């Protein structure tokens, strides 16, 4: 008899295929920009008025649109999953435990080509003056 148990990493597992799966629903949507953000601290709730904190989840096979914050620098702390970060045209993989710094006025985008959610805490700080 062959081996019954097989070791498999959750991050490398394949998603189920078929109707009513998340992947199937995504095919029916116009784009794959699907994410949720929870605001943890708004600028007007901080003493300096310059700090904002949030928690974002990017769903499997989805991404952000990408954007630039002219007066802000930003830090991501990846808490779950892994994904592809793009900052100012450079792409690299980021995963749980990584800290990613995004300088002032740099285009950035995050994509999750994997089968598990990608979540991160982000902090923006507005330039003084």
The structure's pTM equals 0.81
> Domain total for the chain?
1
Question: What is the chain's Cα-based Rg?
Answer: 17
pLDDT confidence tier of residue 128, bands split at 50, 70 and 90: confident
For residue 1, pLDDT over 70 is answered with: no
Residue 85 is part of a domain; what is its CATH number?
2.60.120.10
Q: Is residue 1 part of a domain?
A: no
> Terminus-to-terminus CA distance in the chain, angstroms?
72
Tokens at residue 102, please? 């995004």
Within the chain, strands assigned E span 35-41, 51-58, 62-63, 72-80, 82-87, 90-95, 99-102, 108-112, 118-126
**Which residues form the domain of 78?**
32-126
Q: Is residue 27 part of a domain?
A: no
pLDDT digits (tens, 9 = 90+) for 24-71: 676 666 667 778 899 999 999 999 999 999 999 998 888 998 999 889
From residue 99, alpha-carbon distances to 91, 104, 124, 128 in Å are 15, 16, 13, 23
């Amino acid at each position: 008899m062959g081996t019954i148990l097989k070791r498999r990493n959750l991050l490398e597992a394949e998603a189920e295929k078929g109707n009513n799966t998340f992947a199937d629903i995504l095919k029916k949507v116009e784009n794959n920009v699907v994410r949720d953000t929870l605001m943890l601290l708004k600028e007007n709730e901080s003493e300096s008025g310059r700090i904002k904190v949030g928690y974002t989840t990017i769903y499997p096979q989805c991404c952000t649109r990408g954007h630039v914050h002219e007066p802000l620098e930003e830090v991501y702390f990846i808490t779950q999953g892994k994904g592809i970060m793009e900052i100012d045209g450079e792409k690299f993989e980021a995963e749980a435990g990584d800290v990613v710094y995004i300088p002032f006025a740099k285009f950035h985008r995050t994509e999750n080509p994997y089968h598990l959610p990608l979540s991160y805490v982000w902090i923006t700080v507005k330039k003084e003056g």
